[in-house]
């Protein structure tokens, strides 16, 4: 949308912000897989190396969970969800994914915290969308 005073305005600024931040995380995790592969000279599969397995799964798990959460965030924003609540969900998603990735890569129990928070964000967004009743 274009405004003569403000220029181009995003219709979904909150989702755009958290999509970009999560994209950086996903790209970083993907680069980490490439770094570990190069270091270990393992270019197919995981070679049974636990460090490479962890890097692959940290990237893969992020790529599996973030799209659904961002889609739900987008639907909530398009359904006129409150900006503060959108930022709470978006921020919680980013923190959850960072915690999960850190836990996966370091073998830390914070992984479980990140996984649980990710699922809570997805569940909360799904419920909120139903509460917003975008169909009526």
The whole-number mean pLDDT for each consecutive block of 10 residues of the chain, a chain of 136 residues, reads: 65 97 98 98 96 98 98 97 98 98 97 98 98 88
Q: The whole model's pTM is what?
A: 0.91
* Architecture (CATH level 2) of domain 13-132: Up-down Bundle (1.20)
pLDDT value, residue 136: 77
HSE-up (13 A, CA, CB side) for residue 8: 2
Structure tokens of 31? 């680069």
Structure tokens of 119? 């699922």
Rounded-to-integer distance, Cα 132 and Cα 30, Å: 36
């Amino acid at each position: 949308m274009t405004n003569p005073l403000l220029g181009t305005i995003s219709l979904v600024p909150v989702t755009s912000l958290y999509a970009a931040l999560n994209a950086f995380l996903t790209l970083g995790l993907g680069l980490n897989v490439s770094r570990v592969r190069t270091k270990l000279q393992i270019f197919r599969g995981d070679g049974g190396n636990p460090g490479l397995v962890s890097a692959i799964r940290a990237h893969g798990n992020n790529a599996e969970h973030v799209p659904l959460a961002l889609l739900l965030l987008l639907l909530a924003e398009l359904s006129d969800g409150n900006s503060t609540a959108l930022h709470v969900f978006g921020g919680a998603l980013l923190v959850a994914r960072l915690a999960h990735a850190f836990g996966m890569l370091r073998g830390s129990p914070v992984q479980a915290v990140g996984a649980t928070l990710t699922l809570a964000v997805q569940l909360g967004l799904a419920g909120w969308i139903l509460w917003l009743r975008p169909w009526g």
